[in-house]
Structure 1
């Protein structure tokens, strides 16, 4: 019984539970806000959840040897809570479940979501160690509004500014996510965009991308910004700036990444307020 509890805890920690639940919840909130029925938004949330689980588990499984080399005890595999083989199996099971759940939302939406998940896997497998490390985040996040919109009746395509805003949010999330691990990553040969930019420039670029995402949502739709849009931009800017200050002064803090999720929540609220202007 105790061993089963350790395995469950190991799986929960190795799937990157916080970001997994955040992306799932924000996608579901956007779907509900845009008028998706209960069955549809539950399907979308299930597809995103399994996709995110597969990405999180594959990340820890693929990185296991690097994490063991530097004794990164914060990782469940290194801490002995669960084995790499079990995490690998969980990643493939989640990926297998993600396929029918995604396609159940419609072949257009499902195909877009599976492309987003494939891009995230490409990051884990190879691209995280290259100067293109930002690209899978930009693509995966950028496709989420398309996934939600294409699943709606009539299969509308989201406006270009919505895709660009989500992509910028992904770039900001990527930079904020890797900042606490820059030194450990360099030791194991990982040299993504943030590593090449250096801590200072990456810490400043992350909030700039987040603020750019919110600005696109406020200014992108035709006509005057919706009521409360400027307030949302100010709030998002304050959160992003706080994340930058923390990243520059507390090098191993993960708070900037969680502040990125807060900016994403503000953006989802604004997207829901925009409503019909989001799609065409």
Structure 2
């Protein structure tokens, strides 16, 4: 019996083997609701790096012996700058991330509209300017220069061989943004700036390493992508170890117990993280964070951000 023989008063009867129509799940701002959009906006700012850099600035302020209000002002300026950078990054990469099918990107998966993320970036940047300048004209200019190079990374340098430059510049300028807030506007010592720049290079390598394959699929070709996963893992321990060595041996006078003791855990974390990277995707990042934590502790304990 063919299909024309199965027609009744109610119309054609579908065969029993016909599967039910698939349910369509709507993903986007309309489906997410206000709470989901707010959560997506919070995640789009890259909260982990933003909070890490803000914590570093706060630690530098403590090490520089800033008083409470000045330390809070520096911390607020750095936080708003980092929020603007994170939101700019997600909004600018939204279309590219969507084409590559990258997950965990609220601006590309429809959780929050890219326009809303751009607006958040603009508001954070607008707040960052007066907060930075309230720290002093020179200190504010230095911090805003660091924020500017971070935006330049998002908009241009991220996909080039110079992808490392904004990280090195931004982290290197951060100690100056802190010490220039002090009365007399002193510049930081050379070993503080050098260690910051080295930590910036390490942060770029460690942060990019877990996503090299996905970034390549999205058309990004920065320095770590050109080195490849293996090359980046081999290079990563070098700036981490160099930063610790600079902080331990750079200040005048004897190294001291704290400097010598810091070399052991920082060195172990710097080497072990990348070595375990083949089996644990984010091991290198974990090792870099641990080594950087030791360096920050050195800065705080020795007050090395102050001239």
TM-score w.r.t. structure 1 length?
0.94
SS of corresponding position for 1:249? coil
Q: Which residue of 1 aligns with 2:296?
A: 268
* Matched residue, 1:219: 249
Instruction: Report the CA distance between 1:2 and its aligned residue.
Output: 6.7
Structure 1 segments, 4+ long, off by >6 Å, are none
Distance 2:82 2:212 in 1: 23
**Alignment of structure 1 residues 8-87 onto 2, 5 Å:** 8-87=38-117
Q: Deviations over 1:105-141 (max 9, x none)?
A: 0011111100000010000001011111000000000
Task: Indicate yes or no: 2:279 matched with 1:249.
Answer: yes
Gaps of 5+ in 1: none
Structure 2, unmatched stretches of 5+, are: 1-30
In structure 1, the partner of 2:138 is 108
Deviation at 1:180, TM superposition (A): 1.3
Structure 2: how far apart are the matches of 1:261 and 1:48?
A: 19
Say what the alpha-carbon RMSD is for the aligned residues: 1.6
Larger radius of gyration: 2
1:142 maps to which residue? 172
Q: CA deviation at 1:223?
A: 1.5
Partner deviation per Cα, 1:145-182 (whole Å, 9 max, x = no partner): 11111111221111112111100100000011111111
Q: TM-score, normalised by structure 2?
A: 0.86
Distance in 2, Cα, partners of 1:258 & 1:90: 29
Cα deviation code 1:71-127 (max 9, x no counterpart): 112111233221111101101110111000000000111111000000100000010
CA distance in 2, matches of 1:106, 1:259: 36
Name the residue aligned to 2:23: none
SS of equivalent to 2:102: coil
Deviation at 1:272, TM superposition (A): 2.2
Alignment check: 8 A CA contact 1:51 1:94 kept: yes
Is residue 259 of structure 2 the alignment partner of residue 229 of structure 1?
yes
Q: C-alpha separation between the residues in 2 aligned to 1:17 and 1:64?
A: 17
Residue range with higher mean Cα deviation, 139-148 or 259-268: 259-268
Superposed displacement of residue 255, structure 1: 4.2
Q: Is the Cα contact below 8 Å between 2:45 and 2:85 reproduced in 1?
A: yes
Tell me how far apart the structure 1 counterparts of residues 125 and 36 of structure 2 sit (CA, whole Å): 23
